[in-house]
Amino acid sequence: MNKTNKRQGLQIARLLLLPVLTAFFGLSSAYAQRSPIDVNLIIDGSSSFSGVKDEVTSWVSGRLDQILVDGDRVTIWIAGSPSKVVYSGVDKEAAKKSIQDLSPSGNSADFSSALREAASRQSSSYSYTLLISASPAALSSVLSSPQANLLRFSRVEEFSSWRALVVGLNLDAKVKKASTAFFAQ
C-alpha cells in the first residue's frame, strides 16, 4: 500500500469515526437522564455515631455527589430517641451541611420509626434509602420490630466501626405486583 492510499484510508476512517462518536455521546447523555427520585438518608442518632461522624460525613457526601441529580428530593433523619427529620429538600449542599451539623446523643437509635415514616412518604415511583448505623444494638432492635420486613431487601456495606445499608423500601409490594402481572399473561 502506498502513502497516498494510506492517507486516503485515514481520511475515510476519520470521517466515519466522527458520526459514530457524535451518536455515542449524544445517546449516552440521553440515557443519563432520569426522573427525580426520593432519597432517604437515615443516620444513627446514638452516641455511638460520635466516634465515626467525620468518616461517615465524608463518605456520605461523596455518595450524594454520585447519586443525586437535579430535582432529586433528599430527606435526612437522625434516628435518635425519637427519630426526627433534620433536612428535606432538593439542595445537595444544604443536605451535606445538615449532616455535618448533626449532634448525636443518647444510648439508642430509633431506626424503626424513621424507616416507617420514610416508607410512608414516598412521592416518586422510585426511592433510594440509605441507613447508616454505628451501633449493632440499634440494628438488632429493628430486626425484632414490626419494621423488620423493611430491611428484607437491602445491601450492607461494612466499614471498620459502622455500616451502610441500602434499603429497598416498599419493594415487596412492587415485587408482588410485577409477579402478578407476569403470571397473568
CA diameter of the chain: 81
User: Mean pLDDT: which of 52-56, 81-85, 121-125, 167-171 is highest?
Assistant: 52-56
Q: How far apart are the C-alpha atoms of 66 and 55, rounded to whole Å?
A: 17
99, containing H or E segment: helix 92-100
pLDDT tens profile 10-44: 566 555 555 655 655 554 444 457 788 899 999 99
| pTM given for the model | 0.72
Q: How far apart are the C-alpha atoms of 108 and 45, rounded to whole Å?
A: 7
Q: Which pLDDT does position 96 carry in this prediction? A: 95
Residues 6 or more apart whose CB falls under 8 angstroms from that of 129 comprise: 39, 40, 41, 42, 115, 118, 166, 167, 168, 169
78 close to 45: Cβ distance less than 8 angstroms: yes
The burial class, CB within 10 Å (0-12 / 13-18 / 19+), for 30 is: exposed
Region 101-128: what's the mean pLDDT? 83
The residue behind cell 407476569 is: 182
